[in-house]
Amino acid sequence: MANQDDIALMAHLMRRAGFGATRDELEARVAKGYDATVEELLNPETQPPVDPYVLLRHQPAALLPGGQPPMGNVNYMYYLVNTKRPLEEKMALFWHSVFATGNSKVDNYDQLLEQIDLFRKNGMGNYRDLLLKIAKNPTMLFWLDNNQNHGTAVNENWGRELLELFSLGAGNYTEVDVREASRAFTGWTFETKLPRLPYGRFPWKFEYRPEDHDDGEKEFLGHKGNLNGEDIINIVVQQPACAKFICRHLYNFFVADEPQVPAWPIEPPRDPQAIETLMHAFRHSKCEMKPVLRALFMSDFFKNARYQHLKSPAEVVVGTLRIVGGYELPKPGYGELSMQPAYMGQDLLNPPSVEGWHTGKEWINSGSLMSRINFVASQIGNPDLPGVQAIINRLKAQGTKTPQQLVDNCLDLLGPVEVGAGTKKELTDQAKSWGEIRWENDADRQNAARRAAEMLQLIAATREYQFG
Amino acid sequence: MSATQATQKDPVLVVLQLTGGNDYLNTVIPYNNGLYKDNRKAVGIADSDMLHLDQAHAIPSYMAPLKKFWDDDKLAIMHGVGYLDSPRSHFRSMDIWHTCEAEKVGTEGWLGRVVREFDPKKENVVTAVSFGPCLFRALAVPNVPVACVSGPLEQYGFLPSIRDQAQRLKVLETFSHMYQPIEGSGVMEYLGTTGLDGLKGADILKVAPGRYKSTVNYPNTTIAQKLKGVAQVHLAGLGTRVFYCDHGSFDSHAGQAPLHAGLWTAVTEGLEAFMADLKEHNASDNVIVLMFSEFGRRVRDNGSGTDHGAAGATFVLGDKVKGGHYGEYPSLDANKLVQGDLNPSMDFRSIYSTILDKWLGLNPAPIVNGTYEKPAFLH
């Protein structure tokens, strides 16, 4: 029997480095050990990838979904729910949040999904290489107008966001640097987009047009020469500001909520020492992401940050679906299901702008809170779902009887969820009003299952449960 | 205060969003214009399938209920509505309509600002009620509560998945205790306030279906049922000033004819029932309905549908509306089109400005981010 602290720590790791795990999975992982689990997460190739052909067979329209929701969302949700490489998928979501690219302009989920796949394949590799790949990604080039960035007429959209939102953060470069960086990326474009009809869309492809490139001398962050886009990236990743910016993003995403990105030049990090630790790993490994992530997940500041992070809608929805089970195959209703994060304020593949989503407290408003709670409750309160059944079976096997046991065991099996004394008292009072539960005969067991389902729903409705 | 003033009812705005980009040309048809037929070989409305409003404009027969509002002078048609440099993206366009920010990404919805003006102290959490899957951006402003009804009104609130009603009430009682905001507790306090606002809203709204009696039968379409919900809340006298609902998708790239007909039949029949219901209860004179879509569609059809366009038509209807045409139908001449689309001639924010100034009694400029002409479509 696994130690409760080990389970709690493993649950924390799996919520952050993935999208949560069932109790069976947690116990198996605890048996393997925390360090070994971190290594497995960091080396996803040891686990099988999601099989796209299953998706194709069940939901053909989700494979090349075009510009209309929800088929693009179905495709993405299918991967999120089914991945056996949780950290690979979580890092893809991380980069999607940083390199925020949206269907609102791209109008082509095919291309957005291809970008997500780029994040899956390269998200735990070298950041410099990833930056170069995203600079050549047609979806990004179109999103930030670099196809309109010409040797004779500079468009600064990509050049600016590369510095402000993708690498350094505001205040770490001048307007001249923006201009010069943009000049260096002239001629970085993609093959002409072909119309979608009648055979569907043609995939977009990177193209470098030397005749459209500005070959003049440029001066960027103190470096002079006939710089090209790749030179700009090489200079950018050398900047101390770059390490700091990426590490603060990682901290905000994986450890604890920071203020919104635009406030970073003014507000100091929540834990400057933690950022230093991550920056050291980043610089030491020359922008390799794995050593940074390893340092993060092995650190005390990570292990001690339980429930210091307001769950994003994707974490709420995917985390719930992975625990309750029964969503391994696309089935009727999957489209609506895949739109749930959007109803809670996180329209995946369609962030509101290149700034990405605002996180933490800003996930919550009157509409989104009700959506979050009701969605989780509708799933976790459904005893027909295999994961809920498994929880009820465990409650029975544990001999759950008294109101206190019902509350404690439900809190434990849903997380373990840590709640304040006030919440605990309310949950217990609720359970007391039901009296003791019994499992002797069918009627008892039915009643017990109903009470358990109601308690699980009530826990899912607590404020504490909004944190992960 | 005079007796009439004392009994005067607060003006109410109902917004009906036609999501997906409604085809202006097939909604208000310039039937005498040869260019209409030339450009609409595949999806044009035949003469026998339209109802003439006047010498120049017609609506499709499947929008017949709207003709009655027109004949009663209660329907204002705003022509050529849009804004400069329309992006032709659904999401971005909708965002611009919702936040009144065409240049940058806005953070506050225009109706959220209206709610904040009406109820700065958050005394009535159902000042705005929305019937849709989520909180529309038009209503989203931090710390402004909006009741978002995503299913039947009877089930609105937290934890409808607990089906035993007595049990659910007990659980919600616990919920209200658990959400007590403790001052100074940061995010927990904010969550507490937001949760209790939602709970309070549900408590208030749940009386509405019970108080409601009517002889009007609403069609069994999603939009008619949403409008029925609007009527129930309005008639319950809960102080709601802004209602929001949506219908769609009007994104008719292909197979437009049956799609457009089905959508508009549902919308207009729903509106007919809604207005009849309000009339039956003597509660229609303080309500106007604003009906908009994020953009119109391409002038030339694509063989079975129409692609994203620019200028569109916006409608306002109600007892206090001065029926008629406002603004000008943009030219269909090829050299007047912008990338094949109708060039907007009226900024959507001018319609908002009239409604804010003449109907809701608010200063429009800070809400729509600027000063715009105010077409006089209200009595």
> pTM score, two decimals?
0.83
In chain B, positions 84-123, which contact chain A (CB-CB < 8 Å)? 87, 89-92, 95, 105
In chain A, positions 192-251, which contact chain B (CB-CB < 8 Å)? none
Residues B51 and B193 in one domain: no
- Whether B254 and chain A come into contact, CB under 8 Å, resolves to no
Please report, for the domain that includes residue B114, its CATH number.
3.40.720
Among A360, A381, A422, select the one facing B162 at the smallest CB separation. A381
- Whether A263 and chain B come into contact, CB under 8 Å, resolves to no
Instruction: Return the H-helix or E-strand segment holding B243.
Output: strand B242-248
Query: Higher model confidence: residue A171 or residue A195?
Result: A171
- Whether B166 and chain A come into contact, CB under 8 Å, resolves to no
- Whether A468 and chain B come into contact, CB under 8 Å, resolves to no
Q: In this predicted structure, what is the pLDDT of residue B251?
A: 86
Residues B168 and B317 in one domain: no
Residues B112 and B198 in one domain: no
Q: In this predicted structure, what is the pLDDT of residue A152?
A: 92
Among B95, B178, B190, select the one facing A426 at the smallest CB separation. B178
Asked, for residue B294, whether it belongs to a domain, the answer is: yes
Among A344, A353, A374, select the one facing B159 at the smallest CB separation. A374
What is the arithmetic mean of pLDDT over A437-460? 96
Distance separating alpha carbons of residues A147 and A193, to the nearest angstrom? 11
Residues B242 and B321 in one domain: yes
In chain B, positions 54-73, which contact chain A (CB-CB < 8 Å)? none
Q: Which of B257, B248, B332 is nearest to B291 (CA)?
A: B248
Query: Are A104 and B91 within 8 A, CB to CB?
Result: yes
- When the pLDDT of each residue in chain B is averaged and rounded to a whole number, the result is 92
Among A349-363, B15-29, B72-86, which is the least confidently predicted range? A349-363
What is the arithmetic mean of pLDDT over A423-450? 96
Query: Are B105 and A355 within 8 A, CB to CB?
Result: yes
- Whether A374 and chain B come into contact, CB under 8 Å, resolves to yes
Cβ count within 10 A of residue A1 = 6
- When the pLDDT of each residue in chain A is averaged and rounded to a whole number, the result is 94
Domain that holds residue B262: 3-153+222-368
Asked, for residue B124, whether it belongs to a domain, the answer is: yes
Residues B144 and B161 in one domain: no
Mutate to test the interface with A, among B194, B196, B199 (most CBs of A within 10 A): B194
Per-residue confidence band for B2, with pLDDT thresholds at 50, 70 and 90 = very low
Q: Does B273 score more than 70 pLDDT?
A: yes
Asked, for residue B127, whether it belongs to a domain, the answer is: yes
Q: Does A199 score more than 80 pLDDT?
A: no
Q: Does B3 score more than 90 pLDDT?
A: no
Q: In this predicted structure, what is the pLDDT of residue A1?
A: 54
- Whether B193 and chain A come into contact, CB under 8 Å, resolves to no
Looking at the complex, report in whole angstroms how far the Cα of residue B129 sits from the nearest Cα belonging to chain A. 11
Q: Does B1 score more than 50 pLDDT?
A: no
Nearest CA in chain A to B146: A366
Looking at the complex, report in whole angstroms how far the Cα of residue B295 sits from the nearest Cα belonging to chain A. 14
Q: Does A194 score more than 80 pLDDT?
A: no
Chain B residues with CB inside 8 Å of A370's CB? 148, 157-158, 198
- B287 bridge partner residues: B12
Chain A residues with CB inside 8 Å of B96's CB? none
Among A12-16, A50-54, A219-223, A301-305, which is the least confidently predicted range? A50-54
Q: Does B55 score more than 50 pLDDT?
A: yes
Q: Which of B72, B36, B75, B29 is nearest to B51 (CA)?
A: B29
Looking at the complex, report in whole angstroms how far the Cα of residue A10 sits from the nearest Cα belonging to chain B. 25
- B347 bridge partner residues: B82
How is residue B62 annotated by DSSP?
G
Q: Which of A414, A413, A448 is nearest to A431 (CA)?
A: A448
Residues B88 and B199 in one domain: no
Per-residue confidence band for B4, with pLDDT thresholds at 50, 70 and 90 = very low
Q: Which of A458, A417, A443, A439 is nearest to B167 (CA)?
A: A458
Chain B residues with CB inside 8 Å of A103's CB? 91
A84-114 residue pLDDT tens? 999 999 999 999 999 999 987 788 899 999 9
Residues B262 and B360 in one domain: yes
Q: What is the DSSP string of B20-39?
A: T---STTTSB-TT-HHHHHH
Residues B277 and B322 in one domain: yes
Q: Does B93 score more than 90 pLDDT?
A: no
Domains in chain B, number:
2
Residues B293 and B279 in one domain: yes
Q: Which of A420, A311, A326 is nearest to A371 (CA)?
A: A311
Among B28-32, B81-85, B355-359, which is the least confidently predicted range? B81-85
Q: What percent of chain B has pLDDT over 90?
A: 78
Among A353, A366, A426, select the one facing B197 at the smallest CB separation. A366
Q: Does A46 score more than 90 pLDDT?
A: yes
Cβ count within 10 A of residue B183 = 6
Among A369, A381, A463, select the one facing B188 at the smallest CB separation. A463
Quick one: three-class SS letters along chain A?
A: CCCHHHHHHHHHHHHHHCCCCCHHHHHHHHHHCHHHHHHHHHCHHHCCCCCHHHHHHHCHHHCCCCCCCCHHHHHHHHHHHHCCCHHHHHHHHHHHHHCCCCHHHHCCHHHHHHHHHHHHHHCCCEHHHHHHHHHCCHHHHHHCCHHHCCCCCCCCHHHHHHHHCCCCCCCCCCHHHHHHHHHHCCCEEECCCCCCCCCCCCCCCEEECHHHCCCCCEEECCEEECCCHHHHHHHHCCCHHHHHHHHHHHHHHHCCCCCCHHHCCCCCCCCHHHHHHHHHHHHHCCCEHHHHHHHHHHCHHHHCCCCCCECCHHHHHHHHHHHHCCCCCCCCCHHHHHCHHHHCCCCCCCCCCCCCCCCHHHHCCHHHHHHHHHHHHHHHCCCCCHHHHHHHHHHHHCCCCCHHHHHHHHHHHCCCCCCCHHHHHHHHHHHHHHCCCCCCCHHHHHHHHHHHHHHHHHHHCCCHHHEC
Q: In this predicted structure, what is the pLDDT of residue B103?
A: 79
Q: Which of B205, B234, B266 is the last residue of a domain?
A: B205
A407-423 residue pLDDT tens? 999 999 999 999 999 99
Instruction: Return the H-helix or E-strand segment holding B346.
Output: strand B346-347
> A351: which residues sit within 8 A by CB, 6+ positions away?
A96, A97, A100, A101, A102, A357
- Whether A361 and chain B come into contact, CB under 8 Å, resolves to yes
Q: Does A265 score more than 60 pLDDT?
A: yes
Contact predicate B135/A418, CB 8 Å:
no
Chain B residues with CB inside 8 Å of A354's CB? none
Query: Higher model confidence: residue A414 or residue B185?
Result: A414
Cβ count within 10 A of residue B61 = 15
Q: In this predicted structure, what is the pLDDT of residue A301?
A: 98
Residues B144 and B278 in one domain: yes
Asked, for residue B126, whether it belongs to a domain, the answer is: yes
Looking at the complex, report in whole angstroms how far the Cα of residue B234 sits from the nearest Cα belonging to chain A. 20
Distance separating alpha carbons of residues B353 and B46, to the nearest angstrom? 36
What's the number of CA atoms in the CB half-sphere (13 Å) around residue A207?
Answer: 14
A350-383 residue pLDDT tens? 987 788 898 998 899 888 999 999 999 999 999 9
Q: In this predicted structure, what is the pLDDT of residue B6?
A: 40
Per-residue confidence band for A2, with pLDDT thresholds at 50, 70 and 90 = low
Residues B190 and B264 in one domain: no
Asked, for residue B269, whether it belongs to a domain, the answer is: yes
- Whether A32 and chain B come into contact, CB under 8 Å, resolves to no
Residues B284 and B227 in one domain: yes
Q: Which of A341, A359, A320 is nearest to A72 (CA)?
A: A341
